[in-house]
Chain A
C-alpha cells in the first residue's frame, strides 16, 4: 500500500527539497499500519443501507438540485441516459423506461426554460432598445421627401435631362453611400422606392444605371429648372432633374 511520492509530482518551483521533506512526512503517515477492519463491517453497512430507498438517478437529481449542485444534476441525467440506452438485459424494462422518461422530461424542461429565457431576454433587451433599436429619427425626414420629388414629374421639359447629369449626386461614390448620413440628403432620395428604407439608400442605385448619366454636354442651361413649389424647396434641382431623366429614359 501507499505508492511512493515522486519528486516530479511537485512540478517546477522553488523550495522543492523542503516540500519533498513534507511529502515524505505525509508519506510516512500514510504508510502507517491502519489495522484490519472489523469482521462484520460489510454487514454493518448493509444493515444501514437496508433502511435507504433504492438509489436512482431521479432521486439523485432531486438531491443535487436541492443541494445546489448542478454538476450532480447533470451527472444524474447522464446516468439515466446510460441506464436507458444500456445494451443487454442487465437493466429491467421498467427501470429503463423510467430512466428514459426522466431524460425526456428533463430535456423538455430544459428546452422550455431556455426558450423562455431567450424570449425574456429579447423582451428586456428589445424594450430597452439594445437588441432592436427603433429608428424614429431618420424616418420622418425620409418619408417627407418623396412627396416633393414626385411632383415635378408632369413638367415637360426635355432640356432638364441634360442639366441633371453633371451633378455629383447622380454619381454616388461607394464611400459616400456607405455612410448612413448620406440618407438624409435629398439628392439621393430621388427614387421613392429607395427612400422608404434607410438601408436601401446607401446602395448605389443610381450607379446601377450608368448609361443615363454620361451626358454632360448640355449642362450650360440651368435655367429651366422648375420653379419650386413651397414644399419642394428642400429638394435640389438635381434631384428633380434626375427624376425626369429617369422618366425619359423609361
Chain B
C-alpha cells in the first residue's frame, strides 16, 4: 500500500515515520495517509485500551472511536509530541471514561470465556481459581484507577497502560515534567489508600 502525495510529490512511504509529514498529507486531502498511521499505531492504542478495560472486544471499539476522533482533530496536532502518544492519550481518555461508566460491582459470568480476558491470556494453562483471583485483583486495580481524580488518572493510565515515559507524557499533555511527576506520585498514593496495604506490599 502506498499513499501518494496529492500534489504529485514523493509517495508518502518516502516520508513514513515523519509524523508531521503524514498529518500534513492527510490535511492536504490524502485520506490513505491515515491508513499508515492506523496500521502503525493500532497495536499500541488497542493495547492501552485493553489494559484499562480488560476486554479486547471493548478495547477495539474504543480504539476505533479514538482513531475517528483523532482524524477529526488532526487539524490541532502541532507535532509537539509523538503522534503515537497523542493518539494513545485520546484512546486512554476514552477508555477511562468508558471504564468510569461501568458499575462498581461487576457480576462474574460463569459462562464467560475467561481465556479471552487479559489475565486469562497471561496465565493460560494455570489453575482456574488462581486465574479468577488474578482477574479479580486486576479488576480491583482498574476500578481504583478509574476512580482517581481526572488529572491523576490520566497520568497513571498513560504511564502504566499507555506505556509512555514521563517525558512523553509531559510532551503529550503539555504539562511540565515536574507536574507530571507530582501527579503520578499523588495518584499512586491515592491508589495505595484505596487498594489497601495488601496491594502495596
Is B184 among interface residues, defined by CB-CB distance under 8 A? yes
CB-nearest residue of chain B to A99:
B27
Instruction: Given A34-B47, A72-B76, A79-B78, check contact A95 B181 (CB 8 Å).
Output: no
Q: What chain A residues lie within 8 Å of B197 (beta carbons)?
A: 18
Q: Which of B51, B75, B182 contacts A11 (CB 8 A)?
A: B182
Is B56 among interface residues, defined by CB-CB distance under 8 A? yes
CB-nearest residue of chain B to A93:
B7
Does more than half of chain B's interface fall in helix, strand or loop, or is it mixed? helix
Q: Are A32 and B119 in contact (CB under 8 A)?
A: yes
Q: What chain A residues lie within 8 Å of B156 (beta carbons)?
A: 26
Q: What chain B residues lie within 8 Å of A209 (beta carbons)?
A: none
CB proximity of B163 to chain A, nearest CB, Å: 5
Interface residues on B, range: 35 or more
Q: Are B200 and A22 in contact (CB under 8 A)?
A: yes
Is B60 among interface residues, defined by CB-CB distance under 8 A? yes
CB proximity of A80 to chain B, nearest CB, Å: 8
A46 and B156 CA atoms in complex are apart in Å by 30
A36 and B60 CA atoms in complex are apart in Å by 10
Q: Are B64 and A92 in contact (CB under 8 A)?
A: no
Q: Are A15 and B192 in contact (CB under 8 A)?
A: yes
Is A103 among interface residues, defined by CB-CB distance under 8 A? no
Q: What chain B residues lie within 8 Å of A78 (beta carbons)?
A: 78
Is B74 among interface residues, defined by CB-CB distance under 8 A? yes
Q: Which of B42, B78, B189, B191 contacts A37 (CB 8 A)?
A: B42
CB proximity of B16 to chain A, nearest CB, Å: 14
Instruction: Given A22-B195, A90-B7, check contact A3 B74 (CB 8 Å).
Output: no
CB proximity of B138 to chain A, nearest CB, Å: 5
Instruction: Given A48-B68, A91-B28, check contact A60 B163 (CB 8 Å).
Output: no
Is A179 among interface residues, defined by CB-CB distance under 8 A? no
CB-nearest residue of chain A to B77:
A79
Is B171 among interface residues, defined by CB-CB distance under 8 A? no
Q: What chain B residues lie within 8 Å of A58 (beta carbons)?
A: 75
CB-nearest residue of chain B to A38:
B60
Residue in B38, B60, B76, B116 with the greatest tally of chain A CB atoms within 10 Å: B76
A139 and B103 CA atoms in complex are apart in Å by 75
Q: Which of A81-89, A168-176, A195-203 contacts B (4 or more CB under 8 A)?
A: A81-89
Q: Which of B27, B34, B145 contacts A57 (CB 8 A)?
A: B27
CB-nearest residue of chain A to B142:
A29
A76 and B74 CA atoms in complex are apart in Å by 9
1/0 per residue A37-56: CB within 8 Å of B? 11001101110111010111
CB proximity of B190 to chain A, nearest CB, Å: 9
Q: Which of A1, A75, A95 contacts B28 (CB 8 A)?
A: A95
CB proximity of A43 to chain B, nearest CB, Å: 9
Given contacts A19-B188, A55-B27, A90-B25, 18 further A-B contacts (CB under 8 A): A2-B163, A11-B185, A21-B199, A26-B145, A34-B56, A37-B42, A46-B31, A46-B35, A48-B64, A50-B31, A54-B29, A54-B31, A55-B72, A72-B73, A76-B76, A83-B27, A86-B24, A92-B29
